[in-house]
Amino acid sequence: MDNNKNDAIIRKESGALMKLPQMIDAIVEPVADVFETSEAFIVKLDLPGASKESINLNIENETLTVKASIELKYREELKTLYSEIGRKSYLRRFILRDGIDFEHISAEFDNGVLTITLPKTDEVKAKEIKIK
């Protein structure tokens, strides 16, 4: 193995391989899917490792901001040599346009996926026209 200090991998005395530590907290933009029904827009965000309690939803100036953090708890007998997963926070913003019923926005979190339901106002809901 090359002894170049720029290598991403180093050999420890124990023989195990580990990445050189970079103790920088990462802010990650979570992946999202957006759907539309006749009644609402649905936003699904993938937030692996986040807990329901760590998620913060905020609407200000027609911008929906989603923030979450990972709070990993390892067994006390484990000595952390390197940590990337536990040094990550999520941040994602969506611009909300006219047609959203801000008073009835709801969210639920299940199995690492946050689902935000943005109900449409009556003005933008699809209307069926009856033929006479």
- Quote the CA–CA distance of 80 and 68 in Å, as a whole number: 23
Number of neighbours of residue 107 by Cβ within 10 angstroms:
16
First CA to last CA distance, the chain: 81
pLDDT tens-digit series, residues 91-113? 999 999 889 999 999 999 999 99
Contact status, residue 118 vs residue 40, Cβ threshold 8 Å: yes
Q: What is the pTM of this model?
A: 0.73
pLDDT in tens, 51-64: 999 999 999 999 99
Domain made up of 20-119: CATH architecture: Sandwich (2.60)
Residue ranges of domains in the chain? 20-119
CB neighbours of residue 41 within 10 Å: 20
